[in-house]
Chain A
């Protein structure tokens, strides 16, 4: 049986579900791409863990007051991600998303049929990721989720955006109903009905 490995890490999504879901904005996307975490803000609600399609944020379950742990792409390290520096055969490389995507596409063009479906994982998945994966193995066999190009938080934001409208709409409707059903002074108490 053939075996294969994948480096399991935060994909640093272009539009991260964890960033959208965190109620205290402890997770945020840096301009250069890394998704960073401010532990001092975190309330430990674990919504990021539930929302992440890659199962990345981890929790210290043995602790009484745990925080989240996740890769931050070594954003505060001078020489870029330590994993890329450490990987001597060049299996893990770092650069800008544009550069890496160009390298990946060149490799696919140079070796047609070598990589799964001749495409890069992360170019479009969930709106794209900043970590890109080029592999000969089927994506689902190395635990990559079947995502289309929809941004995950596109499902939640329209409902949240509607909140001011709902407040005004429901509030106005109820005020109207209250005034409409109110007994007018002098009138006999009406028999109430309910459907």
Chain B
């Protein structure tokens, strides 16, 4: 399609695209039900399960798996590791779309979404959620500014006034993105520090903010590995093996840190015995940490596997699965409340947003230059 002399490409109407469109439509219908008939008609939440699937997935998982943007932008431009340049824009785009999805998810979850701006005028600095909300709003702006040069390049406006201004700001922007991420990635853990009486001791720890930040770091690497390999298959982008191997090293370092924090904390608290109690919580904890931390560490340590893109991809995927398990275990399996299983429309609303995000990624990736101009 052409608008003026601007060419706009659309994804091919493949089975994948059509499936995503259907999932998105069902999701939009679920959101419509929520806004017209209320929560009771399409969720299984209750007074003792006020935070459920949407908070666990859209907020806790959504923010964590969008961490790739600050991890990669920071590594490449602050540590001057230039070989990662080719994956910076895709990571920024994923992060930007990820945070848009988080925000849209919250607008479905909030009872009074039209009042979201109240956070800016009725501030409560004692609330971890206030900090998360403000950081997400500001960080979304930072990510937009970081990605705008790519859009300007599409419109043939590179090396002109606004492009130059933003390029000159790029380092302060990357630093503030990193600082904002440090703040709200950890503060998502702080949210749950106020419920020591409701949370199982396998997950409750006063260092929860540090565990949340470290796991966001790990899943940042994991997601970037995941999307680098997938974009290679879907869009035919180059797969640089040395980039993947470097990401694998970063992933292993952050996973080892995470494992030491978690094990060290349990030993310090004298709670190692809880792992072997054999109840639902202990089994979930074992699965989360063996599949999501120990296995990828082993893969990334074995000399033959850690250089193989296929195995690096698997390690990245396991890390993402482990992160999802950790956030769900902590906020559902390990949190006291009524028995709860999400209504299909709760899942559909989230899946719909996710599908929209993937379609948006495809649209932008097809149309906007993914390599930055200097």
B190 x A160 contact (CB < 8 A): yes
A166 x B40 contact (CB < 8 A): no
Q: Select which of B47, B74, B124, B206 is within 8 A of A155 by beta carbon.
A: B206
B196 x A152 contact (CB < 8 A): yes
A174 x B126 contact (CB < 8 A): no
B45 x A61 contact (CB < 8 A): yes
A25 x B175 contact (CB < 8 A): no
- Verify if B36 is at the interface (C-beta below 8 Å from A): yes
A194 to B79, CA, bound (A): 10
A51 to B183, CA, bound (A): 21
- Verify if A131 is at the interface (C-beta below 8 Å from B): no
- Verify if A127 is at the interface (C-beta below 8 Å from B): no
Give the residues from 19 to 59 in chain A that come closer than 8 angstroms, CB to CB, to chain B.
Answer: 19-26, 41-47, 49-51, 53, 55, 57-59
A171 to B173, CA, bound (A): 11
- Verify if B145 is at the interface (C-beta below 8 Å from A): no
Q: Select which of A21, A157, A177 is within 8 A of B129 by beta carbon.
A: A21
Give the residues from 110 to 125 in chain B that come closer than 8 angstroms, CB to CB, to chain A.
Answer: 110-113, 115-116, 118-119, 122-125
Q: Is the interface of B mostly helix, strand, loop or mixed?
A: helix
Residue-by-residue, is B75-110 near A (CB-CB < 8 Å gives 1, otherwise 0)?
101111111000000000000000000000000011
Q: Select which of A43, A51, A159, A194 is within 8 A of B110 by beta carbon.
A: A43
A38 to B179, CA, bound (A): 33
- Verify if B306 is at the interface (C-beta below 8 Å from A): no
Complex contacts, B130 vs chain A, CB 8 Å: 23-24
A192 to B35, CA, bound (A): 52
- Verify if A170 is at the interface (C-beta below 8 Å from B): yes
A156 x B194 contact (CB < 8 A): yes
A64 x B38 contact (CB < 8 A): yes
User: For the side of the interface on B, what is the size category?
Assistant: 35 or more
Residue-by-residue, is B39-69 near A (CB-CB < 8 Å gives 1, otherwise 0)?
1100101111011000000000000000000
Q: Select which of A53, A61, A166, A178 is within 8 A of B197 by beta carbon.
A: A53
- Verify if B269 is at the interface (C-beta below 8 Å from A): no
User: For the side of the interface on A, what is the size category?
Assistant: 35 or more
Please give the residue numbers on chain B whose beta carbons come within 8 Å of chain A beta carbons, in ascending order: 34-40, 43, 45-48, 50-51, 74-75, 77-83, 109-113, 115-116, 118-119, 122-131, 133, 171, 175-176, 178-179, 182-183, 186-187, 190-191, 193-198, 206, 209, 246, 249-250, 253
A46 x B51 contact (CB < 8 A): yes
Q: Select which of A22, A47, A182 is within 8 A of B191 by beta carbon.
A: A47
Additional pairs, 11, CB under 8 Å, beyond known A24-B130, A26-B122: A41-B122, A47-B129, A51-B195, A159-B187, A170-B182, A171-B175, A177-B79, A194-B81, A194-B246, A194-B249, A194-B250
A182 to B81, CA, bound (A): 10
For residue A194, give the distance in angstroms from its CB to the closest CB of chain B. Answer: 5
A17 to B171, CA, bound (A): 39
- Verify if A149 is at the interface (C-beta below 8 Å from B): no
- Verify if A2 is at the interface (C-beta below 8 Å from B): no
Complex contacts, B38 vs chain A, CB 8 Å: 61-64, 66
Decide: A23 near B194, CB < 8 A? Known: A44-B111, A67-B112, A181-B79. Answer: no
A41 to B51, CA, bound (A): 20
Most buried by A among B35, B50, B206, B250: B50
